Amino acid sequence: MRRTILTAAAALALAALGGTARGGEGPELGEILDNAKVVRLVKTGFSDEIILKKIGISTCRFDVSVDALEKLQKAGVSEKIVGLMIDRARKGHGELGTVVQAMTNFFQQGTEASVLRALDLARMHGAKLVPFMLEPLTDKHERVRAGFCVALGEVGGPEVRDALWAKLRDDAQVVRSSAARAIARISNDARTRAECLRHLRDAAGGLRDGYARALGHMRATEALGDLIRLLDEKRESEELRTACAVALGVLKDKKGFDVLARTVLETRGSAAVRQAAGDALWALGDPRAISVLLRAWDRWPSDHVALARQLGAFRDPRVVERLIAALGQGENRELVSVAHESLKKITGESFETEREMPLHEKWKSWWAIVKGTPDWQPKAPGGAEVAPRP
């Protein structure tokens, strides 16, 4: 379970909504009082005094539009009760606006911790926050737009589908990616999958990578052929080909192996597309990927960090030897760190640097002892044992 992290700003926002523990002073959080429930209390015969007290201690979500007020009057709700409902609605709007502003600030910071804090706020306040999270989808900062797409995917429902759908054509790739994931969470139905597939096939339709990502997250196997075709088409945009590779990795259908392998090894292509294809091979867990990734290692030194992480999916002697060799490249600290983590994951061993013996020498000594033992014979078809993924 993801740990809830609160900063001072988030705590203040929660306190304003009564979300913090304050003995018996805060609203009851289990039930949400709305117009229909107030009408029920009136029809049941409770006095105005009792209903006013109930409103005072409850979490409320009142509709105080003109049409709603007319219905309340026809239902016999007194002006005193309606007046308090209006006050609570106005107060709630201000408080919820404070929460959304706090979320905006967290998303602008852009750190993992700050994003988690913003999402914690969204989860704590749930559906009542949704109407206030729509406006930030047009914020000038792409981090903010992307963050609120994620938040709406966490707590929204079908009512926010259209707003998120529009973000699949946002100017920023990170926003399109976030909207795709959110759409898949709240609207994974035949209609949405068909619309995504139609837009993906429309070569004249402009930005299409959001639809590819959404189809992947929706596990839309009917899109498999189109995703393979578009990834294999080198004239397509980097964004679209990257999205198709990501979607194939999410689908985890081994029919995509060949095109992913070709993409990892292609001589004319972007590093982003190659690395997305490598991540997809990692996700497939197909042992045939080992030889492909090792060939890519020889061909693309600039991709070594990504390849060291991807090779960490396979418990194979060839992988161990390549990663131990990478540890000797002390000038590339990021590569050493990633290769070390992959080695620990696939071997279950853990060594640290000591003054007497460098890290790569420790691993080399260990490998000299265990290499060729029964524990290090390939076990899975294709010549490798697939290591468990985190």
Cα angle 350, 353, 356; round to 5: 125
pLDDT band at 2 (very low <50, low <70, confident <90, very high): very low
Which ranges of 126-234 would DSSP assign to H, the alpha helix?
142-155, 161-166, 173-186, 190-201, 209-217, 224-232
Q: Residue 31's pLDDT is what?
A: 61
Q: Residue 262's pLDDT is what?
A: 95
Mean pLDDT of 239-250: 96
Gyration radius of the chain's alpha carbons: 27
Both tokens of 163, joined, read: 């707003």
Q: Please tell me which residue, 3 or 192, carries the higher pLDDT value.
A: 192
pLDDT band at 386 (very low <50, low <70, confident <90, very high): very low
Mean pLDDT of 26-51: 80
Q: Residue 381's pLDDT is what?
A: 42
**pLDDT tens, position by position, 158-214:** 889 999 999 999 999 999 999 999 999 999 999 999 999 999 999 887 899 999 999
Most distant CA atoms of the chain, gap in Å: 86
User: Do residues 155 and 127 touch, judged by C-beta distance below 8 A?
Assistant: yes
Mean pLDDT of 274-303: 94
User: Do residues 23 and 29 touch, judged by C-beta distance below 8 A?
Assistant: no
| Spatial CA neighbour of 143 closest among 92, 183, 178, 100 | 178
DSSP labels for 35-46? HHHHHHHHHHT-
Q: Residue 90's pLDDT is what?
A: 73
Q: Kindly report which listed range (12-21, 85-94, 183-192) carries the lowest average pLDDT score.
A: 12-21
CA 67 to chain centre: 39
- What's the mean per-residue pLDDT of the chain? 85
| The residue type at 287 | P
Q: Residue 131's pLDDT is what?
A: 85
**CB-based contacts of 344-349 (< 8 A; 24+ apart in sequence):** 345/312, 345/387, 345/388, 345/390, 346/312, 346/313, 346/314, 346/315, 346/319, 346/320, 346/387, 347/315, 347/320
**pLDDT tens, position by position, 114-172:** 999 999 999 998 888 888 898 899 999 999 999 999 999 999 888 899 999 999 999 99
| Spatial CA neighbour of 299 closest among 274, 323, 317 | 274
**pLDDT tens, position by position, 304-351:** 999 999 999 999 999 999 999 999 887 888 999 999 999 999 999 888
Side-chain-side CA neighbours of 95 within 13 Å: the count stands at 21
Q: Residue 87's pLDDT is what?
A: 83
* CA separation for the pair 155, 103 (Å, rounded): 14
Map tokens 């973000």 to a residue. 167
Q: Residue 92's pLDDT is what?
A: 66
pLDDT over 70 percentage in the chain:
86
